[in-house]
Structure 1
């Protein structure tokens, strides 16, 4: 393996900060959730287009009806994931929303069990149970604060389920398509879906503030490209588990940023519930036996 020019943990840390900024940019924008999501995906498509045209366009002619169907459905799910997640940030805190969206790996193991017949272990069940307890604690605490915060938590959970469905469809299609082609199709379908949604809602595509254009562009550049590109670069030099664990710090980073920028203070149930959720997901992605063996060898 080639020696990296920098320590892989450096781009991973930058990547975590990048994805943590997603909720912050959404909060700063004044436009409706559908409009924000539309411009995020539109700018992403425009940035990707020069890289896609020419080299990957021939692959489009080789797609089966199944690939077109699954990729299109994935794009629709991604669109409504963004709509509901962005909308949740209008009702609940950045911390609660991002923690609940982070439950995606646990939604995924249910999906892979039913659709791909993957085995569910006792460790997976235990991790899921722990994370569910944490999410209930967060939602219960938000419900006691206000009904709107609880409503925002529900939207975040549905958004989490939708992005899981998006990944499950991608798990099937990506066996036959390149990453660039699949991503481009999904992003284009998602952009068209969001455009139709905005028109049907009667929302204005003209942002309420000139600063909104900056937030739209940053949403495409920072979380979409900088964050995930750095994760994809790092995966060549470190284990997938390292990146998976690092992403768990997204809610932590988002909560800290929200505290500085929006003065969002965490209540006790949010802190405890968030720690429990992250513990459950950490248990899910970490190979406990390898950790024990590592410490056993060290001693």
Structure 2
């Protein structure tokens, strides 16, 4: 029999691997990048509604409840996160787009330290320098064969880390009073029309043009529920530092699938830069492991 800790670890590994499918499905969605985010939300919404309506929940947590201004803010951050990330996938390699978004824990830890008025440790400053140097190396080392505009795509991916940090910090505040299921439900429901508006404003094709595209969009919905939900469930049962390191499986899975399905390769400089980014994230977690306030939000899984 699996121990509760081992069970949570297995769920975490599986969820991180599922999240690694997201950039592949965006590429296969056969629609605009923001439109792919719209369909991700649209297909996820019924599953999220079933989650909050299922029996056996604690008193006061069953049912959708009502949205709040903070939920609307979380939705806005998540919409910006998906829009920028999906466009980064369109312009650069799957590996770069996924690895650079993993700067989120570094950003969240830095903001949390500022919010808690705690001076950063020397190890965190080193982690920040290593991660930023790695991000620059990944972008500068592109040979032009990773996408139509790798530099622009890398910039979008780096900015995605900022938006996702805002989302997770907002969720941290909400989690003190609202269940995770309700937060996911309302951030998705409120973000749905926003992504539709972004897609329309950019003149993107909304409807997938093939059966494969529709299946990819439906798959994005399942990734949204199973991947994000699985990591959130495991985070409540495992140390945050362990969770943050384990979810780094995602960029590895995404890079392997990008190489297998799209023949994407990485230059030696990009491989070195990617390793530096992930090392910086791990060092940031090590520097925060004794700071419970910062640690709780520093383990943010990528989109």
Which segment drifts farther, 105-114 or 81-90? Answer: 105-114
Contact 1:109 1:120 in 2 (8 A): no
Report if the CA contact (8 A) 1:111-1:165 is conserved.
no
Q: Which residue of 1 aligns with 2:43?
A: 43
Per the alignment, residue 251 of structure 2 pairs with 251
DSSP 3-state at the match of 1:89? helix
Q: Which has the higher helix share?
A: 1
- For residues 131 and 5 of structure 1, the distance between their equivalents in structure 2, rounded to whole angstroms, comes to 30
Query: Cα distance, 1:278 vs. partner?
Result: 0.8
Could you tell me which residue of structure 2 aligns to residue 117 of structure 1? Answer: 117
1:165 alignment partner in structure 2:
166
Q: How many residues align?
A: 282
Change in Cα spacing, 1:214 to 1:266, as seen in structure 2 (3 Å) is same
Structure index of larger Rg: 1
Report how far residue 46 of structure 1 moved: 1.7
TM-superposed CA distance for 1:235, in Å, is 4.0
How many angstroms apart in 2 are the aligned matches of 1:112 and 1:4? 30
Q: C-alpha displacement at 1:117, in angstroms?
A: 3.1
Q: Residues 7 and 70 of structure 1: is their aligned pair in 2 closer, same or farther, counting only changes over 3 Å?
A: closer
**Contact 1:81–1:163 (CA under 8 A) maintained in structure 2:** yes
Q: How far apart, CA to CA, are the structure 2 residues paired with 1:259 and 1:273?
A: 17
Q: CA RMSD in A?
A: 2.6
1:151-179 CA deviation, whole Å, 9 max, x = no partner? Answer: 10001111111111111111222222121
In 1: Cα distance, 2:171 partner to 2:289 partner? 30
Instruction: Name the CA shift for 1:273/1:213 in 2 (closer, same or farther; >3 Å).
Output: same
Unaligned runs of 5+ in 1: 291-299
Task: Please give the alpha-carbon distance, in whole angstroms, between the structure 2 residues aligned to 1:147 and 1:214.
Answer: 25
Aligned position for 2:268: 268
Q: Which residue of 2 aligns with 1:196?
A: 197
Q: TM-score when scaled to structure 2?
A: 0.84
Q: Which residue of 2 aligns with 1:293?
A: none
Aligned to 1:186: 187
Take 1:6 and 1:173, find their aligned partners in 2: how far apart are those partners?
A: 28
2: CA distance between counterparts of 1:80 and 1:58? 24
1:27 maps to: 27
What residue ranges of structure 2 are gaps of 5+ in the alignment?
A: 55-60, 291-303
Aligned residue for 2:21, secondary structure, equals helix
TM-score computed with the length of structure 1 as normaliser: 0.85
Q: CA deviation at 1:57?
A: 4.0
1:280 equivalenced with 2:284 (yes/no): no
- Separation in 2 of the partners of 1:235 and 1:7? 12
Q: Provide the C-alpha distance between the structure 1 equivalents of 2:268 and 2:84, rounded to a whole number of angstroms.
A: 25
Distance 1:119 1:46, change over 3 A: farther
